[in-house]
Amino acid sequence: MTPGTEQCRPASEPIKLPFRPDVEGLRAFAIVLVIFSHAGLLVLRSGFIGVDVFFVLSGYLITSLLIREIESTGRLNLGRFYARRARRLLPAAMLLVLVVCLVEAVVVSPIMQFRVLKAALATILYSSNLYFAHLGTHYFELESALNPLLHTWSLAVEEQFYLVWPILLLILTRTTKSRKAGAATLTALAAASFALCVRLSPVNPVNAFFQPSTRVWEFCAGGLIAYLPSARVARLKRLCSWVGAIGILALLVCAQLIREAVFPGYVAALPVLGTAAVLLAGAGAPNSLIPRFLSTRPAQVLGRLSYSLYLWHWPTLVIGQQLFPSGSAIVRMAAIGVALLLAVLTHRAVENPIRNCPYLVPRSGLTLKFAALGAMFCACGLGGWRLTLNHSAQFRRFDEVERDIPALYSRNCGPDVLDPNPKVCYFGANHDPRSTVVLFGDSHAAEWFPALEQIAEARDWKLVAIVKPGCTALMIEDEVSPQMKRVCDEWRRRAIGEIQRIHPNLVVLSSASIHPVANGRMVNDVVVWEHAARGTFAALAQTGAAVRFIRDTPHADYNILECLAQAEWDGRTHCAAVRPEAALHPDIYAAEVRGAAGLDNVGFIDLSDALCGKDECYVDIGGTILYRDMDHLTATYSRSLAGLLFQRLNDSLRP
C-alpha cells in the first residue's frame, strides 16, 4: 500500500498490521517457557522470563499499530483502541476469575477464599500487580504458589501500559518531527526505567518485580523495534539472520541459568534483548532459520492459544496442588493438560467470538459499556462472596487468629523495611517505674511483647520496645542483599546506642533461628551464629544491664493456621506433627549459648517446655491456636505465658 492510498483510508476503518507468523510463534515460545518454569520441570526452570518476552512483543505490536494509525490518518481513535483491547482481553479474564473463585469456594478454607477474593477484585480492576506489591508478596516465594491468581500481575502491567502508551505516542508524534526523535525519546524513557529497575532490584525486589515503572523499558524495547525503518532492516538480511539465531539462543540460556534472586535487575536485559533480536530477524530475514521455525504449524497453533493458555495454566497447577498435595510430576502434567483443554475451549467459545463479533467491532462505545457492566457484575458477585465469608463462623475464627498480632505494630513501632533508624516506643509505667526493661530484636522478639506488656503493667515496669521485623538483633554478617545488610547493621548499631542512652535494668531479646540470605540460602553454620550472638551480647553487656535471651519459638515447615483451617474445612487435610528436634533448632540455640560464655550478666530463658511436648510441638491447646503463621505466636498465647515468663525472668535474675 502506498502512502497516498493510506491517507485516503476512511477514519472509521480500523488499522490492521500485516500478520507475522514469527510473532505468533514467539508467543508460543514464551508460553512454553512460562509453563516449564511454573510446572517445575527439569529444564527451562527459569522460564519465567517468558513474561518478559510477552512484554517486548506487546510493546512492538501496540507501537507498530498505533504509529501506523497516527501516520495514516493523522489522528488516533482512542475509543476504538481501548474497545479492541477490552474485547481481546477482558472476557477471558473475567471467565477465569469467576471459574477460579467458584472452584476455590469448594476446595479451600474460608481464610484462603478471602485471599483469593481480594486478588480476584484486583484482577478485575487490572491492578493485581499493585495488590501483590502492596502485600509484599515475593513472586518466587513458596507462599506465593498458593494464590491461583498470582500470574495476573503481568496482565495488569500490560493493561496499565495500554492505558498510557497511546496517549504518549500521540504526544510524541505531535511534538516531534521525525521517527528518529520519537525513538530517541523512547530510548531515554527506557534508560530511566531500566536504571530504576537495576537500582531497586537489590533494595526492594518485590516492587522491582511488580511495579510498572520498572517494567516500562521492556515495552520500550519492543517499541523501538517498531520505530526502525522496515526498508533499511530488510537490506540487512544476513545480519538479521545471525541476530535471530543469537537471540533465540540467548533466551534458551536465560531460561535455564538465570536465578530468581537476581531478577529482574540488570540480567533482565538479556531476555529482552534476545526477544528484540528475534523480532529483528523476522522483520529483516523472514525466510531465515529462526523465523521459519517459529512459523511452523505447531508454533502457530500454540501461539494462537497463548493468551488463554497463560490464563489457565497457573490456576490449574495451584488447584492441582491443593487437591493432590504430593505435587508429583504426574499431577503437574495433568494440570497442564487440563489447562490446554480449557484454553482451547476459551479460545473458541469466548476469546475469538467476542473479539471478532461483527456487532461489537464497529461499536466501540457499546463495547466499552459492556466491559464496564461486566466488571461491575463480577465485582458485585465477588462482593457478595465477601459478605458471605464475613458471616461465616469458621472464617471469623481463623481470621481473628491471623489478625492476633502484637499491639506494637498498630502503634507504628516497627520501622519500614529500608529505614535504619530505630523506633523507640514506651509502654507501662513511664513515671517513677520500678524497673526499666528494653525489648530488642526482630519479629521473634516482638512476639513476646504482649507477655512483657502484661508484666510491665502488673509490676510497674517501663517497657521500651526497639524492634525491627527482618533484622535480627544478632550480628550476622550476611543478609538477603547488600542494601539490607547496610540497613540492619546500621539499625543494630543505633539501637544499641539507644539502649546505652536509656540505661535499662534489663534487656530482653530474641531472634529467629532461621535467617535467610542471598539466593534463597539459610544461615546454618553454627560458628556464624556463635560469633553473631557473641557480638551482640558483648555490646549489650557493656551497658551494665542484665541481658536475657529468650530461646526462639518453634518453626514449622508449613503455615499452621492455614493448615488447621483447611483441615477443618475439608476433613481430609492432615497437618504434620511439628517435631521439636527440627523445629527448635537445638544446634543454633547451643551456639547462641556458647556466644555468651564469660559474660556474667547474660542469661537465657527457655520456654520451649510450654510450646512443645517430648515428641511434638503444640499447634493448638484446647481449641486455641498458638500460631498465626509458620512460626509466630499469637498475641493471645503470648499473653497467656506472661506468668511463666516473669517467673523464669525472676529466677534467672536472683543472685
**In 3D, which of 434, 436, 439, 460 has the Cα closest to residue 450?**
439
Work out the burial of residue 239: count CB atoms within 10 Å of its CB; fewer than 13 is exposed, 13-18 middle, 19 or more buried: middle
d(CA 639, CA 646): 11
Higher pLDDT, 260 or 149: 149
**One-letter amino acid of 96:** L
Q: Which three cell numbers stand for residue 324?
A: 493432590
> Which helix or strand (DSSP H or E) is residue 439 part of?
strand 435-441
Report the percentage of the chain scoring pLDDT > 90: 67
Helix, strand, or coil here: 547? strand
* Contact partners, residue 72, CB within 8 Å, separation at least 6: 6, 7, 9, 15
Output the pLDDT for position 4.
39
Q: 375-379, 443-447, 468-472: lowest mean pLDDT where?
A: 375-379
Output the pLDDT for position 144.
54
**In 3D, which of 351, 311, 379 has the Cα closest to residue 148?**
311
d(CA 426, CA 532): 27
CB < 8 Å & 24+ apart, contacts of 365-369: 365/79, 365/83, 367/83, 367/86, 367/87, 368/79, 368/82, 368/83, 368/86
Residues β-bridged to residue 624: 621
17-26 pLDDT per residue, tens: 788 999 999 9
Confidence class for position 622, pLDDT limits 50, 70, 90: confident
Contact 549, 536 (CB under 8 A): no
d(CA 527, CA 518): 19
Mean pLDDT of the chain: 90
Pairing of strands 506-510, 425-428: unpaired
Between CA 289 and CA 300, with CA 295 as vertex, the angle to 5 degrees is 150
Output the pLDDT for position 138.
56
Longest dimension (CA), the chain: 99
Sheet holding 461-467, edge to edge: 425-428, 461-467, 435-441, 506-510, 546-550, 602-605
Output the pLDDT for position 479.
81
Instruction: Specify which of 338-347, 366-375, 520-529 reaches the highest per-range mean pLDDT.
Output: 338-347
d(CA 57, CA 497): 53
**In 3D, which of 22, 24, 45 has the Cα closest to residue 35?**
45
Confidence class for position 134, pLDDT limits 50, 70, 90: confident
Between CA 419 and CA 427, with CA 423 as vertex, the angle to 5 degrees is 160
565-591 pLDDT per residue, tens: 999 998 888 899 999 999 999 999 999
Contact 324, 338 (CB under 8 A): no
d(CA 323, CA 107): 7
This prediction's pTM? 0.87
d(CA 460, CA 237): 83
Peptide bond into 264 cis (omega under 30): yes
Output the pLDDT for position 546.
95
Output the pLDDT for position 259.
80
**In 3D, which of 634, 635, 629, 581 has the Cα closest to residue 608?**
581
Mean pLDDT across 299-317 = 96
> How far is the CA of 325 from the CAs of 59, 103, 141, 295, 622, in angstroms?
39, 16, 17, 39, 27
d(CA 166, CA 174): 12
Q: Which three cell numbers stand for residue 107?
A: 476446595
Output the pLDDT for position 146.
78
Q: Which three cell numbers stand for residue 559?
A: 503455615
Output the pLDDT for position 145.
61
Higher pLDDT, 598 or 9: 598
Work out the burial of residue 344: count CB atoms within 10 Å of its CB; fewer than 13 is exposed, 13-18 middle, 19 or more buried: middle
User: Which ranges in 509-559 belong to alpha helices (H)?
Assistant: 526-541
Residue 240 has pLDDT above 70, yes or no: yes
d(CA 58, CA 65): 10
* Distance, first Cα to last Cα, the chain: 96
**One-letter amino acid of 207:** N
Domains and CATH numbers, the chain: 26-391 (no CATH), 400-555+584-610+641-653 (3.40.50.2300)
Helix, strand, or coil here: 476? coil
Residue 394 has pLDDT above 90, yes or no: no
d(CA 551, CA 596): 13
d(CA 509, CA 447): 11
| DSSP-assigned states of every residue in 237-279 | HHHHHHHHHHHHHHHHHHHHH--GGG-STGGGHHHHHHHHHHH
28-76 pLDDT per residue, tens: 999 999 999 999 887 888 899 999 999 999 999 999 999 888 888 878 8
Q: Which three cell numbers stand for residue 13?
A: 476503518
Output the pLDDT for position 13.
56
CB < 8 Å & 24+ apart, contacts of 115-118: 115/146, 115/147, 116/147, 116/148, 116/149, 117/382, 117/385, 117/386, 117/389
